[in-house]
């Protein structure tokens, strides 16, 4: 069934409320005419019969009496920024070299989240390509790129995007993006693109001038909600689905990370998330390669990853913040804000065995009950993407400080073992693997100084519930906030940085060599722990993973004879109570077969 209308001409435009529309292309004006609607409700489309064909041109649209052309809502390039003219781009010109690439399944994979602007000093797709060999050696299966869509300014996290079809020019633009994906596939690495369909940024958002893309007054945390179920929403949903299809088809990406789907306001019987899940299946059938849709969700609702034939949405995965909170609270001792419910080893044990901590339980941070249990008959642990660091959990701290800036090697190693030996799909945040000493802070580069000041004030207010000192919040508009967030790659070869990197490599190699770690379902995971002595043992796939979360040495009952990995050289087997055991130094972990 066709849910939306779409232009058939090169410059066709949806502007249902306009009285007149003029295409400005290559410096000439081309009056557009309204296309007749059809029985499926495809109305409001305009076309230009004499539009230029073939050559690359800069173009925009004049609506009614406006005198300044607006960029195309489906613009593929914005060479002079989101307030200026669009430029055509033909994705079919690229000669793909990835015909032998068969893709990657999410189950068994390790994901590496990175922000192009701060991953390298150059901050470009080309420079990131030069690090793919390093990531391959590390054992990474997917890189997950923070949003690359068009935003106002030179640098930004990407979640203030306003032109979803464009690739930010400072990163290299769309042609460079295609080359990056080709290079990633050649290195044996899949690409997951982070996309934002729940809101638009505050500067350069011209979509409401064209049509009912947003629902004024129906806001979420970041502004007006996208129109997913109101009048005109057929075409708005088509705009989103076409965008998702663009990444999967024109850019050969292997999956999409769907930002904050809990912010969708969608009351239609067929939810947008289900349509996105179906799209993944369609493209997978077309290409013969797996396509993974991964939702970021604060809902703890497993229906996101249940199959569509049991009324689920059929997504491949969803982020699980509960894992992060439980690991972080037990490693760092932080207990403010949303960490309050996760400070016990019992919380971590529950997450390891059942996926969610809040599965219908009372959430003190929310002041209400939250979540629902996962049915292990419908989905396996690999559908949960987990981490001990990510862009949100670092960048949304007051000072954007990483755990490596305050914790020692032992605690960082504990978090690494918990993440990479867990039954879920692990994700690393760039630099985590070598304990990067650089922060990762919130940065913007809005040309509007008043908007920049308002953004800075808003950031300070966000941290009240977490008990963080607002005086430590850096100015997002200060260029130094951006530059200090760039990784310092030379430190990866020094001291404890190199030691931690070697541990991450060994853990990923061990995970890959023991597929039973990810093949077994929830029933294949059991946990023992002592809340008093702060030790925990995870039993998974014939392996025992032992942790000492305390500041003193502890004997830990572990059955098994082969010590596969130890985070501390002083870990040695000790007899105890008729069974083998381990004497674990403070803040250490071991893997035993």
Q: 229: which 2 tokens?
A: 């179920």
Q: Which residues pair with 362 in a beta bridge?
A: 369
Q: Please identify which of the residues 275, 296, 321, 359 carries the catalytic annotation.
A: 296
Cβ neighbour number for residue 355 with a 10 Å cutoff? 28
User: Are residues 296 and 260 in contact, defined by beta-carbon separation less than 8 angstroms?
Assistant: yes
CA dist., res. 558 & res. 546, Å (int): 7
Structure-block tokens of residue 108: 């068994």
> In 355-458, which ranges are E strands?
361-363, 368-370, 384-386, 425-429
Is residue 259 annotated as a catalytic residue, yes or no?
Answer: yes
Query: Per the residue annotation, which of 58, 182, 229, 259 is the catalytic one?
Result: 259
Outline where 44-172 has alpha helix (H). 116-119, 125-129, 132-138
Task: Please check whether residue 327 is in contact with residue 348, taking contact to mean a CB–CB distance below 8 angstroms.
Answer: yes
Helix (H) or strand (E) holding 216: strand 214-220
Q: How many CB atoms sit inside 10 A of residue 404's CB?
A: 24
Question: For residues 390 and 324, is the Cβ–Cβ distance under 8 A?
Answer: yes
- What's the CA gap between 149 and 194, in Å, rounded? 9
For residue 469, the tally of other CB atoms under 10 A from its CB is 9
* Integer Cα distance of 142 and 145 in angstroms: 10
Count CA within 13 A, CB hemisphere, residue 217.
Answer: 1
Bridge-based pairing state of the strands 368-370 and 361-363: antiparallel
Phi/psi for 588 (5° steps) reads -145, 170
Residues contacting residue 195 through CB under 8 Å, at least 6 positions apart: 147, 149, 164, 243, 244, 247, 256, 257, 258, 259
Which residue in 346, 318, 529 sits closest to 424, CA to CA? Answer: 318
**What CA dihedral angle connects 363, 456, 224 and 148, to 10 degrees?**
-100
Half-sphere exposure of residue 236: CA atoms within 13 angstroms, side-chain side? 23
Bridge partners, 574 (sequence order): 581
User: Phi/psi class of residue 118: alpha, beta or left (left: φ > 0; alpha: ψ in -120 to 50)?
Assistant: alpha
For residue 520 the two structure tokens come to 């077994």
Identify whether the C-beta of residue 582 lies closer than 8 Å to the C-beta of residue 555. Answer: yes
Q: Which one, of 142, 175, 149, 158, lies nearest residue 254 by Cα?
A: 142
As given in the structure block, the two tokens for residue 338 are 């949303």
The two three-digit tokens of residue 467, written as one number: 């008990």
User: Active-site residue numbers?
Assistant: 259, 296
């Amino acid at each position: 069934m066709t849910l939306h209308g779409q232009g058939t001409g090169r410059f066709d435009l949806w502007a249902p409320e306009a009285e007149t529309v003029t295409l400005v292309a290559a410096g000439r004006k081309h009056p557009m005419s309204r296309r007749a609607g059809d029985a499926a409700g495809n109305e409001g489309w305009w076309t230009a019969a004499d539009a230029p064909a073939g050559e690359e041109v800069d173009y925009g649209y004049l609506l009614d009496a406006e005198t300044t052309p607006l960029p195309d809502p489906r613009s593929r390039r914005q060479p002079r920024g989101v307030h200026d003219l669009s430029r055509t781009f033909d994705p079919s010109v690229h000669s793909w070299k990835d015909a032998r690439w068969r893709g990657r399944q999410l189950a068994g994979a390790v994901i590496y989240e990175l922000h192009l602007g701060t991953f390298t000093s150059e901050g470009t797709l080309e420079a990131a390509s030069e690090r793919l060999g390093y990531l391959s050696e590390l054992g990474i299966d997917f890189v997950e790129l923070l949003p690359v869509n068009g935003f106002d300014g030179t640098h930004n996290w990407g979640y203030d995007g306003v032109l979803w079809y464009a690739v930010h020019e400072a990163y290299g633009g769309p042609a460079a993006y295609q080359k990056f994906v080709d290079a990633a596939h050649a290195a044996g690495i899949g690409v997951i693109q982070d996309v934002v369909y729940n809101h638009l940024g505050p500067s350069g958002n011209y979509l409401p001038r064209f049509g009912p893309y947003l629902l004024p007054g129906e806001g979420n945390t970041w502004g007006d909600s996208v129109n997913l179920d109101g009048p005109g929403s057929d075409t708005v949903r088509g705009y989103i689905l076409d965008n998702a299809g663009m990444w999967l088809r024109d850019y050969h990406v292997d999956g999409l990370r769907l930002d904050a789907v809990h912010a969708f306001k969608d009351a239609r019987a067929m939810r947008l998330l289900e349509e996105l899940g179906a799209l993944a299946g369609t493209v997978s059938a077309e290409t013969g390669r797996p396509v993974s849709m991964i939702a970021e969700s604060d809902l703890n609702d497993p229906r996101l990853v249940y199959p569509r034939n049991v009324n689920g949405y059929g997504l491949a995965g969803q982020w699980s913040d509960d894992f992060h909170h439980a690991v972080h609270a037990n490693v760092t001792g932080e207990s403010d804000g949303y960490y309050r419910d996760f400070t016990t080893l019992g919380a971590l044990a529950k997450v390891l065995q059942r996926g969610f901590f809040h599965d219908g339980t009372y959430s003190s941070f929310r002041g209400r009950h939250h979540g629902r249990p996962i049915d292990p008959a419908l989905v396996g642990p690999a559908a949960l993407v987990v981490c001990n660091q990510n862009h949100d959990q670092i960048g949304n701290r007051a000072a954007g400080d990483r755990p490596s800036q305050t914790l020692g090697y032992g605690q960082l190693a504990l978090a690494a073992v918990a993440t990479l030996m867990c039954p879920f799909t692990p994700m690393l945040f760039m630099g985590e693997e070598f304990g990067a000493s650089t922060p990762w802070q919130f940065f913007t580069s809005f040309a509007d100084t008043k908007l920049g000041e308002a953004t800075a004030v808003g950031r300070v207010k966000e941290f009240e519930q977490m008990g963080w000192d607002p005086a430590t919040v850096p100015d997002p508009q200060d260029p130094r906030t951006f530059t200090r967030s760039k990784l310092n790659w030379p430190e990866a070869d020094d001291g404890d940085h190199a030691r931690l990197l070697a541990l991450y490599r060994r853990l990923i190699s061990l995970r890959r060599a023991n597929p039973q770690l990810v093949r077994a379902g929830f029933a294949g995971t059991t946990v023992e722990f002592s809340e008093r002595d702060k030790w925990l043992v995870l039993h998974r796939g014939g392996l025992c993973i032992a942790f000492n979360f305390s500041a003193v040495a502890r004997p830990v009952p572990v059955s098994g004879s082969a010590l596969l990995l130890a985070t501390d050289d002083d870990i040695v087997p000790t007899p105890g109570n008729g069974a083998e055991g381990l004497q674990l130094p403070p803040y250490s972990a071991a893997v035993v077969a």
